Amino acid sequence: MRIGKSLIVFAALLALLLPAAAQANKLTDAIQKRYDSLSSFQTDFQQELTNAASGSVEKRSGKIWFKQSLVRWETLKPEKELLVVGQNAVWNYFEADKVAMKYRTNQVFNSKTMIRFLSGKANLKEDFKIEEQGTENGLTKLRLIPKEPEPTMVLAYIWVDPKTSLLGRVLIVDFFGNGNQVTLTNLQMDKRADAKLFEFTPPPGTQVKDNSKQQ
């Protein structure tokens, strides 16, 4: 079964993109307050996918919209891929292949950590050991070690702007040592997002693979 790279990275990134650094020393109160009050955002992203075995790096870029539990992750380069997390379903659309994959939301967010984030009950003290690792280019670097690692995330790093308490970069390392790094730019918080951004209807001629009925 084909699963888009946006879909794989999204689950781990969203878990970190919310109050991920909430337990980290001096930034604790500021980050927790900022992200607890966050209702929406939109941002440009640059993504680097590093293959640990070959050393090859694939670069991707696009835009992300977030509104409560609704997400639109639109990869524009090098090839178009669209991930829409709606109220009742998740769609992953590959324009060049004219293929759309449909999932139930609980199929995508089957992680214990992700369920907690989507329900607003995340408690990173239970799921991560968090270590502050100094600063890089004006951003505070934090190391996140999952207490119960999963194949898609055994280690993560986040970089936070101490002035705004907002994330600037995320690096996720999987079981095989592959790296997924996402850098956020032009981040706009609490910006009103059209509800239609979080809806998806397969274009005519699209092959739809409905995985929502799988157990």
Decide if 196 is inside a domain: yes
Q: pTM of the full predicted structure? A: 0.79
Query: Average pLDDT of 13-32?
Result: 55
Decide if 193 is inside a domain: yes
Diameter of the chain measured on Cα atoms: 53
CATH number for 204? 2.50.20.10
Decide if 189 is inside a domain: yes
Residue that is written with structure tokens 């055994």 in the block: 154
Q: What is the pLDDT of residues 82-136, one digit of tens each?
A: 989 888 888 999 999 999 999 887 766 655 443 343 334 445 566 778 888 889 9
Q: Are 187 and 170 in contact (CB under 8 A)?
A: no
Q: What pLDDT is attached to residue 35?
A: 65
Structural domain total, the chain: 1
Q: What pLDDT is attached to residue 22?
A: 44
Q: What pLDDT is attached to residue 94?
A: 95
Reference 209, options 3, 6, 9, 71; nearest CA is 3
Q: What pLDDT is attached to residue 105?
A: 78
pLDDT over 70 percentage in the chain: 73
Decide if 46 is inside a domain: yes
Decide if 109 is inside a domain: yes
Decide if 30 is inside a domain: yes
Range of the domain at 21: 5-210
Decide if 215 is inside a domain: no
Decide if 199 is inside a domain: yes
Q: Which amino acid is at 96?
A: A
Measured distance CA(49)–CA(26) in Å, rounded: 31
